Chain A
């Protein structure tokens, strides 16, 4: 059995994910606002439509909270034998990948992730069903360390 502790994601990852929530909410509010301004010029809008902004705000609050819950479940570790990733709230998954079965490791970083110095690291196996195991929003330094340690095997 391994005794190495599980690593949580960095707090920056949580900030990034919440920023994404805000950006998405902002876009929805923008579209909604445009609709509420423009549509009355052509036709009357039903009265319940004025509740939509409140619904969006409520949904944003829930998403903000949920992002935190989900974030706290993410964890990973690299032991002498295994790469382990834990994730999921409603459906909780623990992936165990034997290091000798790792075919290749890829990292990707979107523009927002780069701003935060984060990236997503994916470990590929020859498995026919799972194919790959991803850790989203890892610190770039951590990802480099993982890559280096995997390269040493």
Chain B
């Protein structure tokens, strides 16, 4: 049986064998766990572990020889597998993005991994290939996607970038960092109470996420190139992500509390690509990590066209939303008061704790309800919907109306009694952090908004509806 590449089939870089070995690590671990030394082995002059090692290495090499790819006139194909054979075929005209990922070790050895993604299809990962081959693949496939740049040498004007000082600021204002600090402080308090000094240690792992999120953006910059938004980040291994502008479903403006207080906001995009690899996902969607507060339009306009709506144009939600928030908060406070009352009885403090909780709760709920009403707002034109919400974690979404897939008017029992309703808009955008939701509109305004959105969307027929 031969697996020699024929008719344009090419093999990957020989170093791929080590990547395959990584995938077979389970076999080595299993061999160690099962401990073949214990099993009587007929050939006693050979160490059983050596046999296992040779078998695993041999299998990795065999897999390498059975893996091949080719670019035909119309397709990119990858075939692999010794026992279970697979052939991945991706039409070249469907290629959406070509990412070359070079890790630290890869950079030293001169190899790279090329990830080719298409809408609604599994990524094809070619790795390792030599750097030259990676460059060739990138050039050939990018021409398909119509994204090759004629003057690659000239660095395009960045849409946004972030210097190290700002990046630290970005990291410090991440909501996940605040959560981390809360978790650790909570654990320390518990540790003091129960007298176990080691308890807080595992919680330190929670720090992983904010650090990870921030480190991924070292050296971040984003820029426009023809009809695409591209972004890259990383010092040792560069990550690149890109998206055609007409595939942007939503532009999100994120304002976590601390970042907002210091006068900054973050701009991201949400696309419909379901096949984004975890590798490029780390920066996918990010457009501008740290922008001066309220200047999102400078970034959003080049992405989705001139929005023309600004936060001054936002229509307020119904004032009745204050009452709704107060009732909801009131229920929570009532539960807390009951808890405080029970606790007060238990430690013989009488009804003082309950009174304190009730007063503090009433003040907080009142302030929250009014603040919430002031944040809630929406604005709509013939082409865009802008929605703002969130008292603590404020966010603003800009949705091109032709990206709207469906619209839902939703009323809970209490909203129904107050005559208010939410309007929720759905797009094909996945992995967005929040819903597109206009909260507590007067019911007739909600219905008008929903009709306007759905009818405007119906008028634009998209080739594939997405």
Contact = CB atoms under 8 A, between A and B. Distances in A.
Interface in A114-149: 125-130, 133
Contacts of B310: none
A82 B428 contact: no
B458 A81 contact: yes
A129 B426 contact: yes
Interface residues on B, range: 20 to 34
A95 B406 contact: yes
B405 A101 contact: yes
A103 interface: yes
B427 interface: yes
Chain B interface secondary structure, helix, strand, loop or mixed?
mixed
A133 B406 contact: yes
A92 B411 contact: yes
A127 B427 CA distance: 5
A11 B457 CA distance: 34
A75 interface: no
Contact of A91 (B406, B407, B413): B413
B426 A96 contact: no
Interface residues on A, range: 20 to 34
Contacts of B454: 81-82, 96-98
Contacts, number: 95
Contacts of A18: none
A94 B409 contact: yes
Residue from B409, B453, B460 with most neighbouring chain A CB atoms (10 Å): B409
B406 A93 contact: no
A96 B450 contact: yes
Contacts of A96: 406-409, 450-451, 453-454
Contacts of A127: 405-406, 426-428
A126 B271 CA distance: 12
A128 B272 contact: yes
A130 B407 CA distance: 9
B430 interface: yes
B416 A92 contact: yes
A90 B411 CA distance: 8
A75 B405 CA distance: 21
Nearest to B249: A128
Nearest to B447: A94
A86 B413 CA distance: 15
Nearest to B461: A100
Contact of B426 (A90, A100, A103, A130): A130
A17 interface: no
Contacts of B430: 128
Interface string B391-417: 000000000000011111111110010
B40 interface: no
B401 to A, nearest CB: 10
Contacts of A82: 454-455, 458
Interface of A: 1-2, 81-82, 90-103, 125-130, 133
21 contacts: A82-B458, A92-B416, A93-B409, A94-B410, A96-B450, A97-B406, A97-B407, A100-B462, A100-B465, A101-B405, A101-B406, A103-B465, A126-B405, A126-B466, A127-B406, A127-B428, A128-B272, A128-B405, A128-B429, A130-B405, A130-B426
Top 3 nearest A-B pairs by Cβ distance?
Answer: A98-B458, A127-B405, A127-B426
Given A95-B408, A98-B404, A128-B429, 9 more contacts: A81-B458, A100-B460, A100-B462, A126-B272, A126-B405, A126-B428, A128-B428, A128-B432, A130-B405
